[in-house]
A and B are shown apart, each in its own frame.
Chain A
Amino acid sequence: MPDSRGQDVRHIARDQLVAEVRRLRDEDGFNVCVDVTAVDYIAFAAPRDLPEDIEPERFEVVVGLLSHSKAQRLRLRVQVPADDMTCPSLFEVHPGAEALERETYDMFGITFEGHPDMTRILMPEEWEGHPLRKDYPVGTIPVQFKGVSDAR
């Protein structure tokens, strides 16, 4: 199994993610989904540390699993291409992924298919853009005031 600084990491194809997480939960004891997040690799300066059979894509969804019985962690990394920004939702297997997937959608614009409530969670609903993408600039946004119709 490939590892990153001694931590267990597994690379999973997008269409196998849900089945694999379900198998890990039911058979391998990874009973908690601790974290779901993403990384935008568009400006990554170093070579990507991917196995040979994995095609690097712009986005990567990172799922953190935890096994209470074995006191082990496992990290799943899923490549998501920029021209098809979807990923199957883990909600059916771990309902706790709901808020984390909404955050990932809000910050990166990755749509989780099968998610019951794919809406923004931190940014305002009418916000445009996804702030944690690398092509989203820092500190150049004019402050948006709402509902001031009779400004003097």
Chain B
Amino acid sequence: MPVEHDLLREADSVLRISEAEAQTPSEVPADDQTMIINMGPQHPSTHGVLRIMLELDGETVVRSKPVIGYLHTGMEKTGETLTYMQGGTNVTRMDYASPLFNELVFSLATETLLGIDEDIPPRAQWIRMLLCELNRISSHLLFQATNGMDIGAVSMMIFGWREREEVLRLLELITGLRMNHNYIRPGGVAADLPDGWRDEVLRVMDLIPPRLDEYDTLLTGQPIWRERLQGVGVITAEEALALGATGPVLRSTGVAWDLRRDMPYLAYDKLDFDVLVGSYGDCFDRYAIRLNEIRESIKLVRQIVDQMPGGDYRIQDRKVTPPPRARIDESMEALIHHFKIFTEGFKVPAGEVYRAVESPRGELGCYMVSDGGGRPYRMHIRGPSFVNLQTLPHMLKGGLIADGVACISSVDPIMGEVDR
């Protein structure tokens, strides 16, 4: 199906001027009716440090351009200086609302390069899925909180944070940390599930659904909420595909594409879940998809808890697996082995791979090149927020500034991942 990209170019939604030009507006070739203002980077609704240059005609947005890079810390460059064992601590800080997905995609790419991706024990894979789905719940709850706050439903912020905290406690119980876990590592996970994990997970999974029903009462059916979101920030399926959008932004336009179902990784093909799509591609669809994806993830977590296999939580490959702690005290060889793995790191055969997972924001990819050494030669992360932000000018065009806040929020960008 050839796509009419000409439509996108003629729509002329993107304000392609430089920051310097924006600071001296007299040189901007705009007609007298419009003016250019900056929204952000310090703005309560910009989710960190996103700045948007807006060309306004009265209160209507004509063209706009997201200006990013305020959080750029060169994490891809840093990744080239860390061993594969250390790399997880680096990538986990990119998308800080869903750190486990970053670790997962990094580990999958490393394992594919090593050629051990088929040998990862089932328990490790199911633990990874369990944590990722819990993380998806916490990430979408964070979206509900910030989205509510952006639109003006301030009590929603407290509600969303309250439930997210429950999930974060669960992640803390399992991984030891609320965020930036470095728990999913090449070869498996860092530790086995702790005693009592099953009861605790099920307790939280029982606790959240009634709270989601509260959200429905508070927001979904409420006329003010619907007025603010319905028909706002509409993009079509053709536009979303042409702009490379993924995740809830793409699904809101009616394209049923979810890597977990369509290109399964880990053991998602053994689970039963629905891919949620919208019909109008507006802010309300994106809100509703994320809300209901929490319900789908709860379904998935229950299935994973039921089917969690036994066995090892990491691969027993001496090349990548450090020896057990107890062995280090009694065996000189184990001590040397441990020391080598954590100082030099393990060597990865030369080659290049791309692996992708479905993060809460869309396709999170990792392109990794190895030249046979102990550190990645090149480690590139394809952040879904980074690409999804391109849809923003097309959502904003023709809308009011106040709707802009709803649009930014509905893309759910995490600036740590956008800027990396």
Contacts and interface: CB of A to CB of B under 8 A. Distances in A.
Contacts of B382: 34-35, 37, 64
Interface string B358-371: 00000101010111
Interface in A1-59: 4-5, 7, 9, 25-26, 31-35, 37, 39-40, 43-47, 49
A123 B72 contact: yes
Interface in B100-125: 112-113, 115
Interface stretch (A81-89, A94-102, A142-150): A94-102
A45 to B, nearest CB: 4
B373 A99 contact: no
Nearest to A47: B350
Contacts of A138: 77-78, 80-81
A107 B20 CA distance: 20
A116 B5 contact: no
Interface stretch (B155-163, B236-244, B282-290, B321-329): B236-244
B245 A44 contact: no
Interface residues of B, number: 57
Contacts of B78: 138
Contacts of B14: 98, 116-117
Contacts of B273: none
Interface stretch (B48-56, B138-146, B177-185, B384-392): B384-392
B351 interface: yes
A131 B354 contact: no
Interface stretch (B194-202, B220-228, B255-263, B397-405): B255-263
Contacts of A98: 14, 390
B16 A131 contact: no
B367 A62 contact: yes
A132 B68 contact: no
Interface in A95-152: 95-100, 103, 107, 116-117, 119-125, 131-132, 136, 138
B111 to A, nearest CB: 10
B332 interface: no
Contact of B113 (A5, A93, A103): A5
A132 B77 contact: yes
Interface residues of A, number: 50
Contacts of B372: 45-46
A121 B68 contact: yes
A93 B369 contact: no
A23 B141 CA distance: 42
Contacts of A96: 242-245, 387, 390
Contacts of A100: 244, 386-387
B241 A5 contact: no
Contacts of B2: 25-26
Given A95-B242, A117-B16, A124-B69, A39 B115 contact: no
A1 B17 CA distance: 42
B69 A32 contact: no
Contacts of B352: 4, 9, 39, 62
A124 B419 CA distance: 12
B351 A5 contact: yes
A13 B364 CA distance: 28
Nearest to B369: A39
Given A5-B113, A99-B389, A99-B390, A122 B367 contact: no
Interface string B65-85: 000110010101110110000
18 contacts: A5-B112, A5-B113, A9-B352, A34-B244, A35-B380, A37-B367, A43-B377, A46-B350, A46-B372, A64-B365, A73-B354, A75-B354, A103-B386, A116-B16, A121-B68, A122-B419, A122-B420, A123-B72
Interface of A: 4-5, 7, 9, 25-26, 31-35, 37, 39-40, 43-47, 49, 62, 64, 68, 71, 73, 75, 92-100, 103, 107, 116-117, 119-125, 131-132, 136, 138
Interface of B: 1-3, 5, 8-9, 14, 16, 18-20, 68-69, 72, 74, 76-78, 80-81, 112-113, 115, 241-246, 255, 257, 262-263, 350-354, 356, 363, 365, 367, 369-373, 377-378, 380, 382, 386-387, 389-390, 419-420
Given A35-B382, A39-B352, 12 more contacts: A5-B112, A9-B352, A25-B2, A46-B370, A93-B5, A96-B243, A96-B390, A98-B14, A99-B387, A117-B16, A119-B18, A131-B74
